[in-house]
Each structure stands twice: as C-alpha cells, then as structure tokens.
Amino acid sequence: MGVLSPARVAPRATTRPVGRTLRRGLRGALFYAVLTAVMAPFLFPVVYMMVTALKPGALPMAYPSVWRFEPSLEHFAKVLAQQQLAAQLWNSLVVAVGAVGLGLVLGLPAAYSIARYRQDQLATWLLVVRMVPYFGALIPMYIIFRQVGLTNNLFGLILSHLVITVPLTIWIMIGFIEDIPRELEEAALIDGCSRVRAFLAVALPLVTPGMIAAAVLNFIFSWNNFQMALILGGNDTKTAPVAVLSYIGQEALDWGAMMAAATLVSLPTFLFVLLVQKYLVQGLTTGGLKG
C-alpha cells in the first residue's frame, strides 16, 4: 500500500527539469532586458547617426524626424565622390599607429620601472596628469610646435597624442608587470642577462595580453581625437574626425553627408574592435585578476 506506482513518479520527474529550464529562461530574459536598458542611451546616438545617413534627399533635415523611409546610399556616394576622405583616413591611420607604437615604446619601460622599484609617487603624478583634461595643454603645445615647425605635420600630431597613449599604457601595464614573479627575472640575471635583456626576453613575452589591450584602447582614443588634430593640424594633415566638420558651412549644413562621413569614420574602429575583441577581453580580464 505504501509503494508509489511508476505512473505517479513520472510526472514529478519531468516537472522539475521543465521548471528549472523556465527559471533559467526568465533569468536570461531579465538579464538581457537590463542590459538593453543600460546600453540603449549609449547605442542610440550611433543608431541615429547610421539611420540619418541612409535617409534620402532632404529627409535628414526634416523636423520632426522621419523614421519610415526607403534607405538610400546617395549621401555615402556624395562623400566618397569627393576623393578627400581616403587621404584623411590615411592621415588618421598614420597618426594612430604612430602614437600607439611610440606610446608602447615609452610606456612599457616606465611601467616596468614603477612596478619593479615601487615608484608610487611617480605613478600618482602620472595619474594626476591623466586626470587633467589634455586639451588644457593645447595652447602651450601649439606655441611650442609652431616655433619648432611641427604644426601641420603628422609627426607633430603623433607627439601630441603621446599625452593620451603614454599614461594609459603605463597604468594598464603596471598591473601586468607586478604579476610576473621576480624569480624569473632573477634567474635570467644569474644566467648572465642584463636588466634590459631580462626585461625584453622574460617580462615582455609574459605581458603580451596587456600590450594588446593597451594598443587597442590607445588606437581608439587616438583615432577619435578631434581637438588636437583641429588645433595642431592643417589642410595637409587633416584627419578623418576633423573632416566631418567640413560639412558645416556658414549658410548651410549638409546633415546627411555629415552623418555619412561620421559613419565611414567610425566604421574602421568598429571593425578593428570586432577583430581583436577576444584579445582585448583576455588582456583586460587577465590584468584584473591578481593573486
């Protein structure tokens, strides 16, 4: 009499997995709903820019905004037909790659020195410099660069971007270098390596994920920089973000062409981050896990 029949046990066995699956589905839906609500304010300007670039004719200037239309690429064709954007994109690429490379060359030894010799005061001063708005140094920088002939010069723009890339590289790399056991470098020194060779042969290969993360972030900040290129550059060194400003005239504003140009300028950074996102996440998470 006290034995349960198989017919009564089976429904309970099948109900539990269904309930567990339902709870997981609800938690997943809640997570994505919260994620969408948090990301919506940041994604809306990007979506609005792309949608406006696809509006035909004078619809980009319509008020109130028109959201039902037949997409068109006429504004993109207009921007590409001017044959200036390619040169400006090239200038941005040269400046960004140069600033990233030189920032790593200067920032890595500095981060190594701070991490290994506990130069906390120097690290604090670098943090203070990083917190100060870099465009506050534009006027003194412009006066100095004009006197030495570095205005309207790609190398001058690269040097100006070091204000961004060097402090960021140092602060990212300090944590990675601190995680390297000192015993590895001490063993290299016992084997006859100099301090420089131990740094190059032992430390650098172990902090490759951090170097990739620093390079990606520095590239994004350098590519998107507007103020320095506007003040220190010129017609020959106009970068892509500054080129977007050319669609604002004294009497008219070509809103559709401006949004198309802004989309084309933003596209390389989007593609670059998509290509290296695995290494970027790996580098940032590795640097954040200590002990």
Q: Check which CATH number belongs to the domain holding 121 and give it.
A: 1.10.3720.10
List of residues 6+ apart from 208 with CB closer than 8 A:
none
* Half-sphere exposure in the Cβ direction for 38 (13 Å, CA): 6
User: Each residue of 195-210: pLDDT tens digit?
Assistant: 888 888 888 888 888 8
In the predicted model, is pLDDT for residue 291 greater than 50?
no
User: Each residue of 131-167: pLDDT tens digit?
Assistant: 777 777 788 888 999 999 888 899 999 999 998 899 8
- From CA 38, how far away is CA 33, in angstroms rounded? 9
Q: How far is CA 236 from CA 88, 92, 243, in A?
A: 9, 12, 12
- Asked if residue 243 and residue 134 are part of one domain, the reply reads yes
Mean pLDDT over residues 213-233, rounded? Answer: 89
Report yes or no: 88 and 239 within 8 Å, Cβ to Cβ: yes
- Domain-embedded: residue 61: no
CA diameter of the chain: 102
- Asked if residue 85 and residue 39 are part of one domain, the reply reads no
- Domain-embedded: residue 106: yes
In the predicted model, is pLDDT for residue 266 greater than 70?
yes
Please, which pLDDT band fits residue 15 given cuts at 50, 70 and 90? low
- Asked if residue 82 and residue 37 are part of one domain, the reply reads no
Query: Average pLDDT, whole number, for the chain?
Result: 82
- Asked if residue 197 and residue 236 are part of one domain, the reply reads yes
- Domain-embedded: residue 124: yes
- Asked if residue 132 and residue 252 are part of one domain, the reply reads yes
Query: What is the count of structural domains for the chain?
Result: 2
- H-only helix segments in 59-181: 74-81, 85-117, 120-131, 138-148, 154-178
- Domain-embedded: residue 58: no
- Asked if residue 272 and residue 140 are part of one domain, the reply reads yes
- Asked if residue 105 and residue 48 are part of one domain, the reply reads no
List of residues 6+ apart from 176 with CB closer than 8 A:
206, 207, 209, 210, 286, 287
The Cα angle at residue 196 between residues 168 and 291, in degrees rounded to 5:
55
Residue 10's domain spans which residues? 6-53
Query: What is the distance of C-alpha 170 from the center of its chain?
Result: 16
Structure tokens that stand for 192 in this block: 């006859």
Q: For residue 253, which of 49, 56, 60 has the smallest C-alpha distance?
A: 60
